Amino acid sequence: MNKVLKVLGGIAAALVSIIYFGLLMAFSFTLSVTSIINKDSLKTYIKAVDVTELPIGAVVSDQRENQFQDNETVKDFLIDTLTNSGFTSSEAEKILNNQEVKATINNYIYDMFNYGFYNAEFPILDSEEVLTVITNSGVELNNKKETEITSLVNELNERASTELEIDQIKDSKIPYADSFQNALNILNSTWFKVGLGITFVFIFFLIALFRWSLYKPFIWLGIPTIIAGFLTLLVGSTKFLLNNITIPEMGNYQSILESLINPFLNKILISGAGIILSGIIMVVIYTLIDNYKHKKEEPKID
């Protein structure tokens, strides 16, 4: 009877360990991703991306009418717009290569994203700010150029508010954005992490009950933890592969892709290392206790 209970206990402990492994994998990826999908982190990542290098099709819907090719970028579009407004090609290049100008563009893109996903106010590009950053780039502005830039900014604001159909976005997209944000808030909350800790303790004592031992759960959970950590680390380490392989078809867009993906892979890489370390600690604890117990049970020789 004892042997049957021992076998059944081992099977039950194995099933719980498998469930624990699946939960650990799911939570490690979920927490790694959600921890960086927040307003502050996203703004940092967007600033790291050079928006002017994005394909023009991602921004301009009527690229064919403007005679832009698929391989042309936002920078090409803006250079064309500036030269049509009275700037020389060298002045346009100088403006768009300026970091302050790029930061202004990136901030506007982020504010638009913030509006769509976090129900913030609709972003309005300030023409005075645009004129200031252009002047700071070292390009002199006369009255005609100032008028042209102000007109372009006002037109952009008007077209953005009209074509995005603000009322429709608020009615249809914002509820989903609210649900998405609520889910992120829950996953990033302290209470959720406390819940994970309680779940781990529950699984630990459940295995202890099945194995009728308070130290054996360390090995039953330690090994799945090491495996989960290794797999997580393996996924995160793909960043090194991505950074060292050049895909000719992507051209300049590869650096943009790397800037967007690397923060996620970095977080997963760190999580994997932490999971492996915790698994090793559990195995070490089991080994020390088990060795001590067996040494204590060894018969003394007179």
DSSP states along 216-233:
THHHHHHHHHHHHHHHHH
| 128-132, 153-157, 249-253, 264-268: which is most confident | 128-132
Q: How many residues does the chain have?
A: 302
Q: What percent of the chain has pLDDT over 90?
A: 12
One domain for residues 88 and 71: yes
One domain for residues 286 and 225: yes
16 touches 203 (CB < 8 A): yes
pLDDT band at 29, cuts 50/70/90? confident
Q: Which of 175, 209, 232 is the last residue of a domain?
A: 175
For the record, the structure tokens of 116 come out as: 């769509």
In a domain, 96, yes or no: yes
One domain for residues 169 and 217: no
In a domain, 155, yes or no: yes
Domain that holds residue 114: 41-175
In a domain, 182, yes or no: no
pLDDT band at 222, cuts 50/70/90? very high
What's the pLDDT tens digit per position in 170-199?
444 445 556 666 776 777 777 887 888 888
Q: How many domains does the chain have?
A: 2
pLDDT at 180: 64
For residues 48-72, average pLDDT: 63
The residue type found at 96 is L
One domain for residues 45 and 159: yes
Q: What is the mean pLDDT of the chain?
A: 78
| 45-59, 138-152, 160-174, 245-259: which is most confident | 138-152
One domain for residues 161 and 235: no
Is residue 167's pLDDT more than 60?
A: no
pLDDT at 145: 85
Q: Which of 150, 175, 200 is the last residue of a domain?
A: 175
In a domain, 181, yes or no: no
In a domain, 273, yes or no: yes
In a domain, 126, yes or no: yes
For residues 157-163, average pLDDT: 75
Question: Who's near 9: CB < 8 A, 6+ residues apart?
Answer: 210, 211, 212
Q: Which of 125, 146, 175 is the last residue of a domain?
A: 175
Q: Is the pTM of this model over 0.75?
A: no
Between 46 and 8, name the one with better pLDDT: 8
pLDDT at 283: 93
One domain for residues 161 and 271: no
Between 101 and 159, name the one with better pLDDT: 101
Between 35 and 136, name the one with better pLDDT: 136
The residue type found at 124 is I
Q: Comparing C-alpha atoms, which of 185, 98, 85 is closest to residue 135?
A: 98
For residues 218-227, average pLDDT: 93
The residue type found at 10 is G
For residues 200-207, average pLDDT: 90
Q: Is 208 exposed, middle or buried (0-12, 13-18, 19+ CB in 10 A)?
A: middle
Between 181 and 209, name the one with better pLDDT: 209
pLDDT at 277: 95
Q: What are phi and psi of 279, to 5 degrees?
A: -65, -40
pLDDT at 169: 47
CA distance 159 to 149: 15
CA distance 133 to 100: 6
Q: How far is CA 159 from CA 4, 125, 202, 240, in A?
A: 75, 12, 56, 42
One domain for residues 250 and 286: yes
Between 140 and 160, name the one with better pLDDT: 140
180 touches 116 (CB < 8 A): no
For the beta carbon of residue 7, count every other beta carbon within 10 angstroms. 10
In a domain, 219, yes or no: yes
Between 135 and 64, name the one with better pLDDT: 135
| 98-102, 189-193, 260-264: which is most confident | 98-102
pLDDT at 60: 56
Is residue 252's pLDDT more than 80?
A: no
What's the pLDDT tens digit per position in 112-139?
777 766 667 778 888 888 889 888 888 8
One domain for residues 51 and 155: yes
One domain for residues 171 and 46: yes
- Long-range contacts (CB closer than 8 Å, 24 or more residues apart) made by 53-59: 53/252, 53/253, 53/255, 53/256, 54/253, 54/256, 55/253
235 touches 268 (CB < 8 A): yes
Tokens 């009950």 map to which residue? 209
Q: How far is CA 273 from CA 21, 105, 188, 236, in A?
A: 16, 37, 20, 10
- Specify which residues 55 forms β-bridges with: 73
Tokens 């990542």 map to which residue? 45
One domain for residues 293 and 199: yes
pLDDT band at 103, cuts 50/70/90? confident
In a domain, 266, yes or no: yes
One domain for residues 122 and 84: yes
CA distance 153 to 143: 15
CA distance 153 to 139: 18
One domain for residues 129 and 31: no
Q: Is 55 helix (H, G, I), strand (E, B) or coil?
A: strand
